[in-house]
Structure 1
Amino acid sequence: MYRIMQVCPASVQKSMEGLDYFVVEGGRAIEDLLWVVTQLRLCKAEMDQMIKDLSECKQYLKHDFKIHLEEKTDIKDHCMTFSLNDKDLHFRNECCDHQHLSGCPKCLQLSDLLDEIKRRVQLLETENIEDLYDEILFKTSNAIDNIVEWKKHIVRSKNQLRAKNHVISSLDGSKAIVMLDWVVKFLPRKFRQGQTDWFGKRGVNWHIAVCLINGESGFQAMTYVHLFPSPVAQDGFTTASILCDIVSDLSTLKPEITDVSFWSDNAGCYKSTLTLAMIYANLGPILSSYNFSEAQDGKGACDRKASHIKAEIKRYVNEGHNVLDANDMKKAYSHSLTSEVQRKIRVKKKKEAVKCLQL
């Protein structure tokens, strides 16, 4: 018993927030299928085997399936070219240079298991359990659809990650990639805050962009932080103005940069027609590409930098200061920068924006 506890120690489940809703719905679908299996007329051996197979399929989708995906392979479930192929003529990309002659045991296990559960559920229609049958049929069909959508989500995530890695691997002295994100509004904080000050806070809008450059000394990251003292709409016009300002400042600091690629999440302010039209009209030939991450899969350098800034602001508040507006945020972040770090901070009067640039 003690040896078992050393190899498999007990763990405590913890609640989690902000999860990928594809993963959440997929996990809930597995739980629904586990309940459906218990309602089927199965012997104990068959029921235990189905429960075990469902658990293995869940672990496979969470961990191994994304690793097995490749651009081109003879396994149909792992071939992204085949999976992302459009049946219509708009995005048609057929696998002409290879054939799908092999199969993945885990993917086949998942497909066969879902078909078997569906077949067993249909056999219940002949029994006199109409109310229970409708519930089982609904949960089964809904769970299977969610699992399929989870699998599609993983394929799209791997494809968009491959596009991002392709842009980063092609960086040289004349190219740069800029990753963008609107951060959740920052709520003012005081060193000593009463209950009356806690309610009715108005958050500060701020936007973060991380520019990655491959220079002579290796990769170099520059972080642009735009702070707004007054509330602004996070719309296409504001976002496009920020993007153009970033590229303009980047061209001044690094005149050798002639090729810029953008990377952002699927927020409407980034992929709106106004945003794309404005950056194309203002940036012109310097704009090389604009890629979007898969929905619910856009965590990256901007989120890491935002967490660093929040930690520095929290440390600044703990030293006895108040951070109530955008200027205080700029002061708190500048206070944390050492002399070894190059920095450029300026206040933009247009739109009352405060811009903080760290090199």
Structure 2
Amino acid sequence: MKKSGLDVISFSAGEPDFDTPLPIKEAAKRAIDQGFTKYTPTSGIPELKEAICEKLKRENDLHYTKEEIIVSCGAKHVLFNALMTLCDSNDEVLLPKPYWVTYYEQIVLAGGKPVLLDCDPETLLVPLEEVEKNISENTKLLILNNPSNPSGVVWSQEALEKIAQLCKKHNIFVISDEIYERLVYDGEKVKSIASLEGMKERALVVNGVSKAFSMTGWRIGYAAGPQEVIQAMGRLQDHSTSCPTSISQKAALAALRCDASVVEEMVTAFDQRRKAMMQYLSEIPGVRFPVPRGAFYIFADFSAYIGRKFETTTIDSSLTLADLLLEKAHLACVPGIAFGMEGFLRLSYATSLENIERGMARMQEFFKKLN
């Protein structure tokens, strides 16, 4: 549509729209100039692992050794390695809704069975009773995304402590995806479930540099967990990608050791955009959403408009609604069914304030035209 000259505004982006900070790019250039362009150890260079250990200790009160760290080609690659390592055929994996689309597919790829957990439609958090009632003798894993993609909600320490008790009681291993942990607002602080008593030995902490440092294309993610799990993931990685990109590892090292203001400036801009998008959404009758305290998404419930018509087309699903918004309003967003929730849309505010103002004005006009 853009190629044909149409002015399409996208709220579908899953990446920051900012450039990678200059000190990080300069570190990559130095690596090239110094000839750091060969294979590295499969699971990452020692100095990057040390920086990850320092980061986890400083920011998350988690103490790991280099032998308990793996660096991979993005956090998605970490998750793939983890599920292929930990999930056997027909193992059940508890997956809270709404879920990031890749979790479901990776569980299936590993031969496991996704067990979907229904959330409270108001908070988009899964009640403890819902977790407990879905535990069976085949339950092996629980995947947590904190803060959440697509909803931006943050799990409280109290909720995490209750989940941790269940996991210890039923011997369930947790994969905790914390890739958005530094993109938080309203004074929110993300607590890692691995830092709770008795959870470090039964949790894998997944993170990376893609979101916090606007480095999505550099493809560096990492995980911290029990040494035997990390070693098994390393053996799998050795026969798939060999090692993460050497130059990107040097860039990631610079990112983890750069001044905190690099991230803070981005968070300040995201916060301004978040507030603007929430204000526009709140002016559309019948639309509900929990206030996102993290990431850069709003997951809004448009189910009040299911069954309504735009011209001659009946809106029968979130996919139809997303298609109509693209076709009629030139506005791109992601249908909620992709995340396991019908009637919702995911809107990303990882775009300029000007785009948000123009795009949300179009959305408001679109809904005024419905029959």
| TM-score, with length taken from structure 2 | 0.29
The structure richer in helix per residue is 1
TM-score normalised to the size of structure 1? 0.30
Specify the structure having the higher radius of gyration (Cα): 1
